[in-house]
Chains A and B, each alone.
Chain A
Amino acid sequence: MIDISAFQEALGIMFSSVGSWGWIVPGLIIGLVFAAIPGISITMAMAIVLPMSLYMDFFSAIVFLTSVYTGAGFGGSVPAILMNIPGTPSSFATTFDGYAMSQKGEHNEALGYALFASTLCGIFGYVLLLLVLEPLADIVLRIGPLEMFAVAIWGMLLLGSLGSTYISRGLLAAALGILLGTVGMNTAGFTRGTLGIPQLLDGIAPIPAMIGLLAASQLLGLAGRDYIIEADGARDVSLRKILKGCWGTLKYPGVLLRGSVIGIVIGAVPGVGSSIGNLISYAETKRTAKDSASFGKGNPKGVIAAESAVASGEGGSMATMLALGIPGGGATAILIAAFMMHNIVPGPSFIETQKPMAYAIILNNMVQAVVLLVVGIGFIYAATNVMKVRTRYVLPAILVIATLGTYAVTGEVSGPITLFVFAMLGFALNRYQYPVPAVVVGILLGRMLETEFLRSYQLSAGHPLYILERPGAMAIFVIMFASLAMTAWGKRKQNRAEAAEARAMEKLRDEAAANAAHTTPSKG
């Protein structure tokens, strides 16, 4: 639990280095802008500013970099909501309901929901981190391949909720996605599906592929319109509506809490990162919601669920980084590099000897989350003006930026080529009504699914009873099946209740009709 004297010292560090607070706002703005550009991931935004931080003192450098991280966590949701193109892989689930809300002219509110969910869950994630910094780190190391496999399966359940008109095409699309996700050299050293192209040895670059799949269909669809939103009155930019969305977030504490917990746990696991937490949070929220039919059609809860997991995942991966010196994802790998460049090595000994510094970093991140609220509103206000620009100007700009972004991801022309190939694939999938998101989920999860299954198999030497030695994995599977069963049960009860209600209504109507028939003549 929390060490009081270290905590007081941490407050001392915070207030004695007020100068470093000045780096929060520039850091947040850089993060927001870079993450809002499709193709520039959080990791890349941080890699770009890393050299700048070398010229600052340690605390300022960390404040600056973590501010970029915080800003980028939210920035990705802006294009996701406004244009259905996730700025970073972590905001993929935000597109499901966020873009649907935009289409209804509720983009102001959607961004408000996303921003407030980010802020609240960001703070919540760090509060939790403050309390469980050390125990969490040890738990994370105990999470093995079977547990991770269970998590990946959980993520795949999302496919069930992506819904398309044809179930068979949905499954085919998911299978294609998983196959694409396993291209390259697998963990056992076997190479598959690379067509002899060395660039594919590390697998298909997920960011260019994702942008190609999602953006292409999107942009082609938009090309026929004058504006992103057709209705004249719906294109307004309204601070009042943004704030209304912010305020509305507070109505769903359950969604926020679930998203945060999922985000922290998954964010803390090394090598998984926040690109999966948002999918699981979304799927769980949708499955347990009473109004699950309206998800994907502009339900604010979908936006909140996705964004809360992204924001709190940041706290989770910071825990792993500070306490173990292990990066949970790309962004924390950069942070570790920054620590090292200032001659500080995060890890168990860092927590033991420099606890106040660790606490000060966490506290500063909470401050950043609060500042994000103000900076974020300003950013949203500026960004929503995109709605007022004609698509004939917006589309080419986005395409150019996305192409440059994919070039930056891979550092060579293979990025734009991937973008192009997957844009064609996305167009074809759309044309023949195969659900594109199912392919994206497959690409994001396929590698993990295969790797963790293979390792579980290797560890157990093929004995299925191995699962009995892994209580954690059993617990995940039990919770998963219980949640599925409960949803099915709830749906059944709901259907029955609805059927009963419908029958009762019918009966009433019949009676009323009979009464009317009975009374009318006497009236006449």
Chain B
Amino acid sequence: MTHFTRRDVFRMSAGGIAVASGMVAMPSILRAATYPSRPINVIVPFATGGYNDRLSRAFMPYLEQELGQPLVIVNKPGAGTQLGNSYALNQPADGYSILCTSAAPYIPLTVLLQNAPYKVDDFTMINLPSRDYTLAATSSGGPVKSFAEVIEKLKKDPSSLSIGVQPASADYANMVLAFQAAGIDPSKLRIVTYDGGGPARNATAGAQVDVGFVGGEGFLPLKSKIRPLAIFAAETVDWYPDAPLIGASGLKTDFVEGSQRGWAVTTKLKNEHPDIFKTLVMATEKASKNPKAIETLKLQELATTWYGPEASNKAYLDNAAKMAKYVDLLK
């Protein structure tokens, strides 16, 4: 309780300071020179314990070291990140609120499917170190041995295998694209829907469904309970080299990247205070390249790769465009 109230007080005082600074109309250069002068909120639009929460907490000490101010993690879960995203956009664009989120697929999904009151380019990426891809897998003791076998069986009888997947997700789009490419009518499949990656993975590992299409990274702790059939990536994935690429199954199919997770800010901040944005980018780059940070995060299977704002933003926008192209599959 004390923790929450204290944070609320923080937030209130933050609001007060923002108003005050607005009234004094301090020149932005002066403000940038003093940035950051107080704790920075890290908005995580997920509950405690998820990937982004873990990433933010593990990376926090190294980023604090570079910024010279404490970070405060604010979990704002709900409505597929829409609540957290809206919250972030409602904060003053002063650099004291940054996001640690799964930018893809969630920001485009909330825009395309939930009519969220913001646009994909309202957010600008600082760095997206974690890239997750859809993995088609089966229970380790299951009869299916390869993705080609899945295609073969489903071609004969589309209801011969049950498929576990999250609806309205990148995984779902990838599954439909793959089966369409193989000439299988997706509407005849036995599709079982799960409302989260976790339940879908458990169902796959426990052989509740014959084949599961889920983000691969979450499978790592359950690695010994599953058999990877195909990963929807262009090149071998460094955190799961044993997983065969979808291209290797002989299927020519387009796909969307599963998840792009990492650090972002509002585009308003970048446009209005490019200097603050630059400070944040430099701090994140330094922290990402800190050998100690890399070592600690690697032990927790968290990513630190530095792609930079240009590459990250491009990957994010490309992915969003691809999702918009296949939006009918997501519905």
Residue A349 at the B interface, CB < 8 A? yes
Is the Cβ of A142 less than 8 Å from the Cβ of B207? yes
A516 to B31, CA, bound (A): 106
Residue in A144, A324, A327, A347 whose beta carbon sits within 8 Å of that of B49 in the complex: A327
Q: Which residues of B contact A1 (CB under 8 A)?
A: none
Residue A471 at the B interface, CB < 8 A? no
Is the Cβ of A347 less than 8 Å from the Cβ of B75? no
Chain A contact residues: helix, strand, loop or mixed: helix
Is the Cβ of A201 less than 8 Å from the Cβ of B208? no
Known: A199-B79, A326-B202, A455-B192. A347 touches B222 (CB 8 A): yes
Q: Which of B52-60, B261-269, B282-290, B305-313 binds A?
A: B52-60
Is the Cβ of A143 less than 8 Å from the Cβ of B78? no
Q: Which residues of A contact B54 (CB under 8 A)?
A: 337, 340-341
Is the Cβ of A189 less than 8 Å from the Cβ of B190? no
Q: Which residues of B contact A157 (CB under 8 A)?
A: none
A143 to B114, CA, bound (A): 32
Residue A51 at the B interface, CB < 8 A? yes
Q: Which of B21-29, B32-40, B80-88, B243-251 binds A?
A: B80-88
A187 to B76, CA, bound (A): 21
Task: Output the least CB separation between B179 and chain A (Å).
Answer: 16
Is the Cβ of B4 less than 8 Å from the Cβ of A48? yes
0 or 1 for each of B291-312: is its CB under 8 Å from A? (1 = yes)? 0000010011100000000000
Known: A145-B208, A189-B168, A270-B202. A199 touches B4 (CB 8 A): no
Known: A199-B79, A408-B4. A141 touches B193 (CB 8 A): no
Is the Cβ of A343 less than 8 Å from the Cβ of B300? yes
Known: A145-B208, A459-B192, A461-B190. A201 touches B79 (CB 8 A): yes
Task: Output the least CB separation between A459 and chain B (Å).
Answer: 5
Which of B1, B75, B191 neighbours the largest number of chain A CB atoms within 10 Å of its CB? Answer: B1
Residue in A142, A186, A189, A198 whose beta carbon sits within 8 Å of that of B86 in the complex: A198
Q: Which residues of A contact B78 (CB under 8 A)?
A: 198-199, 201-202, 410
- In chain A, what residue has the closest Cβ to B192? A458
Known: A141-B205, A270-B202, A333-B48. A411 touches B75 (CB 8 A): yes
Is the Cβ of A325 less than 8 Å from the Cβ of B195? no
- In chain B, what residue has the closest Cβ to A330? B47
0 or 1 for each of A343-365: is its CB under 8 Å from B? (1 = yes)? 10111110000000000000000
- In chain A, what residue has the closest Cβ to B195? A187
0 or 1 for each of A126-168: is its CB under 8 Å from B? (1 = yes)? 0000000000000011111100000000000000000000000
Task: Output the least CB separation between A336 and chain B (Å).
Answer: 6
Scan residues 193-249 of chain B and give those whose CB is less than 8 A from a CB of chain A: 193-195, 198-199, 202-203, 205-209, 220-225
Residue A34 at the B interface, CB < 8 A? yes
- In chain A, what residue has the closest Cβ to B82? A198
Residue A451 at the B interface, CB < 8 A? yes
Residue in A325, A345, A459 whose beta carbon sits within 8 Å of that of B208 in the complex: A459
Residue B167 at the A interface, CB < 8 A? yes
Residue A185 at the B interface, CB < 8 A? yes
A459 to B114, CA, bound (A): 27
Q: Which residues of A contact B300 (CB under 8 A)?
A: 340-341, 343, 345
Scan residues 88-136 of chain B and give those whose CB is less than 8 A from a CB of chain A: 114, 116
A348 to B140, CA, bound (A): 13
- In chain B, what residue has the closest Cβ to A324? B222
Residue in A326, A349, A404, A410 whose beta carbon sits within 8 Å of that of B224 in the complex: A349
Q: Which residues of B contact A185 (CB under 8 A)?
A: 195
- In chain A, what residue has the closest Cβ to B190? A461
Residue B159 at the A interface, CB < 8 A? yes
- In chain B, what residue has the closest Cβ to A350? B221
A271 to B58, CA, bound (A): 26
Scan residues 182-197 of chain A and give those whose CB is less than 8 A from a CB of chain B: 185-189
0 or 1 for each of A195-237: is its CB under 8 Å from B? (1 = yes)? 0001101100000000000000000000000000000000000
Which of B57, B167, B206 neighbours the largest number of chain A CB atoms within 10 Å of its CB? Answer: B206
How many residues of B are in contact with the other chain, CB < 8 A?
50
A143 to B206, CA, bound (A): 8
Is the Cβ of B193 less than 8 Å from the Cβ of A198? no
Residue A454 at the B interface, CB < 8 A? yes
Is the Cβ of A198 less than 8 Å from the Cβ of B195? no
Is the Cβ of B193 less than 8 Å from the Cβ of A346? no
Residue A14 at the B interface, CB < 8 A? no
Is the Cβ of B159 less than 8 Å from the Cβ of A461? yes
Scan residues 315-341 of chain A and give those whose CB is less than 8 A from a CB of chain B: 324-327, 330, 333-334, 336-337, 340-341
Task: Output the least CB separation between A200 and chain B (Å).
Answer: 9
Known: A341-B57, A343-B299, A345-B221. A188 touches B203 (CB 8 A): no
Residue A40 at the B interface, CB < 8 A? yes
Q: Which residues of B contact A110 (CB under 8 A)?
A: none
Is the Cβ of B205 less than 8 Å from the Cβ of A201? no
Residue B156 at the A interface, CB < 8 A? no
A362 to B228, CA, bound (A): 33
A346 to B221, CA, bound (A): 7
Q: Which residues of B contact A348 (CB under 8 A)?
A: 221-222, 224-225
A326 to B200, CA, bound (A): 12
Residue A268 at the B interface, CB < 8 A? no
Q: Which residues of A contact B168 (CB under 8 A)?
A: 189
Scan residues 269-286 of chain A and give those whose CB is less than 8 A from a CB of chain B: 270-271
Is the Cβ of B4 less than 8 Å from the Cβ of A341? no
Is the Cβ of B82 less than 8 Å from the Cβ of A455? no
Residue A375 at the B interface, CB < 8 A? no
Q: Which residues of B contact A337 (CB under 8 A)?
A: 48-49, 53-54, 57
Is the Cβ of B57 less than 8 Å from the Cβ of A458? no
A143 to B4, CA, bound (A): 37
Q: Which residues of B contact A145 (CB under 8 A)?
A: 192, 208
Task: Output the least CB separation between B126 and chain A (Å).
Answer: 23
Which of B116, B192, B203 neighbours the largest number of chain A CB atoms within 10 Å of its CB? Answer: B192
Residue A303 at the B interface, CB < 8 A? no
Is the Cβ of A37 less than 8 Å from the Cβ of B49? no
Task: Output the least CB separation between B328 and chain A (Å).
Answer: 14
A360 to B296, CA, bound (A): 25
Residue B325 at the A interface, CB < 8 A? no
Residue in A189, A198, A324, A334 whose beta carbon sits within 8 Å of that of B83 in the complex: A198
Q: Which residues of B contact A243 (CB under 8 A)?
A: none
Task: Output the least CB separation between B127 and chain A (Å).
Answer: 21
Task: Output the least CB separation between A201 and chain B (Å).
Answer: 4
Known: A145-B208, A341-B58, A459-B192. A40 touches B299 (CB 8 A): no
Q: Which residues of A contact B162 (CB under 8 A)?
A: 458-459
A410 to B48, CA, bound (A): 13
- A50-B48, A454-B193 given; name 5 further pairs at CB < 8 Å: A325-B221, A337-B49, A345-B220, A348-B225, A459-B192
Q: Which 4 A-B pairs have the closest CB atoms?
A: A141-B206, A189-B167, A337-B49, A347-B221
15 pairs, A vs B, C-beta closer than 8 Å: A37-B1, A48-B4, A144-B208, A186-B195, A187-B167, A198-B114, A201-B80, A326-B202, A334-B48, A343-B299, A348-B222, A348-B225, A408-B4, A454-B193, A458-B162
Residue positions of B touching A, CB distance < 8 A: 1-4, 47-49, 53-54, 57-58, 75-76, 78-80, 82-83, 86, 114, 116, 159, 162, 167-168, 190-195, 198-199, 202-203, 205-209, 220-225, 296, 299-301
Residue positions of A touching B, CB distance < 8 A: 34, 37, 40, 47-48, 50-51, 54, 140-145, 185-189, 198-199, 201-202, 270-271, 324-327, 330, 333-334, 336-337, 340-341, 343, 345-349, 404, 408, 410-412, 451, 454-455, 458-459, 461
